[in-house]
Homo-oligomer: A and B are copies of this chain.
Amino acid sequence: MQIAIVLFDRFTALDAVGPYETLGRLPGARTVFVAERTGPVRTETGHLALTADRTLDEVTDPGIVVVPGGPGQASQMENETLLDWLRTADATSSWTTSVCTGSLLLAAAGLLDGRRATSHCLALDQLRRFGAEPTGERVVLDVKYVTAAGVSSGIDMGLTLLGRIAGDEHAQAVQLLTEYDPQPPYDAGSPEKAPAHLVEEFRTNSRFALT
């Protein structure tokens, strides 16, 4: 099984690395990072680059597609090269997945029409405008489409899908290996839990603009 993780300029690193570190440990699978061009692809901060080892053209039929999000997603929404690749890869994939605003790219490619899906909490309205049925869940499975909420949720998505494919015990072994026993020092990881003024700041004039 080949797992293709898509990179584009100004993606968010953890969106991609969460599934890589969990789902990527699927027995017999080989993860490949793909982009329009090979070489380093920078995150939105500019301070980190991940290497794309293959071009989109070189990866024609991955078993699993993973699309991260990040501020750069907005510039990709009309990139027909990427959207065409997503449609073609999806035609033969076993699983088509996303993290954060990566689901907006799947939706722009027409892959989430009428499907239950999720995205970063700030992007759920936009997801609806592109034809999906957004939910507030952290990980959403609809047939072979698996979408996750913001950034860190790709770890939960990766373990969920890993368990679905390789069995609970293997997923638990990977959870133990990665010591994924989260102990956040705060409880502010969703709009329902974070201080209201922070949520309002995000929704209006965010210091941390996502799109």
Q: Quick one: closest B residue to A195, CB to CB?
A: B172
What is the distance, in angstroms, from A196's C-beta to the closest C-beta of chain B? 11
B207:A186 contact, CB within 8 angstroms: no
Binary flags per residue of A136-179, CB closer than 8 Å to B gives 1, else 0: 00110000000001111101100110010000110111111111
> How many A residues touch B, CB cutoff 8 Å?
68
Would B47 and A50 count as touching, CB distance under 8 A?
no
Pick the contact of A180: B151, B159, B176 (CB < 8 A).
B151
Copies in the complex: 2
Q: Which of B156, B181, B188 is A185 in contact with, Cβ under 8 Å?
A: B156
A21 within 8 A of B: yes
Q: Are B184 and A190 in contact, with the CB atoms below 8 A?
A: no
Can you identify 22 A-B contacts, CB atoms within 8 angstroms?
Answer: A12-B21, A14-B18, A17-B17, A17-B48, A31-B47, A31-B48, A33-B48, A49-B51, A149-B181, A151-B178, A151-B179, A156-B182, A156-B185, A173-B201, A173-B207, A175-B186, A176-B188, A176-B189, A176-B199, A177-B202, A178-B189, A181-B189
